[in-house]
Amino acid sequence: MDFEYLFELLCGGVVKGSIYALIALGYTMVYGIIQLINFAHGEVYMIGAFVAFIVAGIMTLTGYSGMSVLVLAAIVAVIYAAAYGYTLEKIAYRPLRKAPRLSPLISAIGASIFLMNYVQLAQTPDFLPFPELVTDFEFLEPISRYMSSVDVVILAVTAVTMTALTVLIKYTRIGKAMRATQQDQVMARLVGINVDRVISATFIIGSVLAAIGGVLIASRTGQINSAIGFMAGLKAFTAAVLGGIGNVPGAVLGGLVLGIAETLGAGYISSAYEDVFAFGLLVLILILRPAGLLGKAVKQKV
């Protein structure tokens, strides 16, 4: 066995899985609190990438380049995506919170289609070249064969983001309110928690994570279009289900497992079957462990 090639594939899988995990966290946080699959989440990822593309293009024309452009583009994309997440929750989901379960699901799919076509009409359905913003770091020369500078930035940003999210959920006031709302919304209201504000904050945080993922993956692939959110959202949803929907550590684990499985399958068999490996793994996990890798079977109250 070529262990050097295997290590290269594993590095690529971890990078890809980190992006899936970032987006999957948005799915799992929203589902954990209101049991809703936000199918427009992938489009928020796509919008974040497009906002970063526009900001980066403007700054490049004015003479700026490098990491400073990436940082500013990411900040603007995060703010823009947060506003979209808040608006989506306010308009598409909150009015249907007490409606039959199918109604918010249809609303989520409708919001996804609307956002995809909105960006397609406002921009173009064609692929656009995303500017190269991350230059090679000299100190990474020894590992440049396995990981590019962009890959290292992705891993670093993902690690910092996930650590910050863990701290927020476990130790901050809003994080405690999220956990209380997840357990019982009625009791959370009785102890003075503003449940509507908590749910809005959850959508905002999930949208921020999706935007960060959009900027990072666009920097890595070097191109974007209005349809990138569909497959990214589908893969991230798969990662969330793999890990155990509603479970934050599970979303991270599911993203990493999915990314590594895809990369190994593409490297040793064929890249044409990359999606087959991803969804085949999902079917296998659901057969062997329906609640996901870290999920727990929930007893229904009757």
| 265 part of a folded domain | no
| 156 part of a folded domain | yes
HSE value, Cβ hemisphere, 13 Å, CA-based, for 46: 29
Q: Count Cβ atoms below 10 Å from residue 167 Cβ, excluding itself.
A: 11
- Provide φ and ψ at 128, rounded to 5°: -115, 140
- What does each C-alpha distance from 109 to 93, 132, 185, 205, 242 come to in angstroms? 11, 33, 25, 20, 21
Q: What is the pTM of this model?
A: 0.88
Tokens of 190: 């009785």
Nearest Cα neighbor of 105 from 42, 37, 43 is: 37
Q: Count Cβ atoms below 10 Å from residue 251 Cβ, excluding itself.
A: 34
| 296 part of a folded domain | no
| 271 part of a folded domain | no
| 119 part of a folded domain | yes
Compute the distance between CA of residue 214 and CA of residue 205 in angstroms, rounded to an integer. 14
**Residue owning tokens 């994080």:** 175
- Provide φ and ψ at 77, rounded to 5°: -60, -40
8 Å CB contact between 254 and 241: yes
Mean pLDDT of 198-206: 93
SS3 label, residue 1 = coil
Compute the distance between CA of residue 234 and CA of residue 240 in angstroms, rounded to an integer. 10
8 Å CB contact between 208 and 185: no
Q: Count Cβ atoms below 10 Å from residue 213 Cβ, excluding itself.
A: 31
**Number of domains observed in the structure of the chain:** 1
Confidence grade of residue 52 (pLDDT, cut at 50, 70, 90): very high
Q: Count Cβ atoms below 10 Å from residue 101 Cβ, excluding itself.
A: 9
Nearest Cα neighbor of 81 from 196, 195, 178, 214 is: 214
Nearest Cα neighbor of 21 from 217, 278, 236, 216 is: 236
Q: Count Cβ atoms below 10 Å from residue 93 Cβ, excluding itself.
A: 23
- Provide φ and ψ at 64, rounded to 5°: -85, 155
Nearest Cα neighbor of 215 from 57, 19, 25 is: 19
Compute the distance between CA of residue 257 and CA of residue 268 in angstroms, rounded to an integer. 16
| 263 part of a folded domain | no
pLDDT in tens, 94-133: 998 888 888 888 999 999 999 999 999 988 888 999 887 7
pLDDT in tens, 137-189: 666 666 667 778 888 888 888 889 888 988 998 899 999 999 999 888 899 99
93 is in which domain, residue-wise?
A: 11-241
Which pLDDT score, from 0 to 100, does residue 211 have? 93
| 253 part of a folded domain | no
| 280 part of a folded domain | no
Mean pLDDT (the chain, rounded): 87
Residue type present at position 20: Y
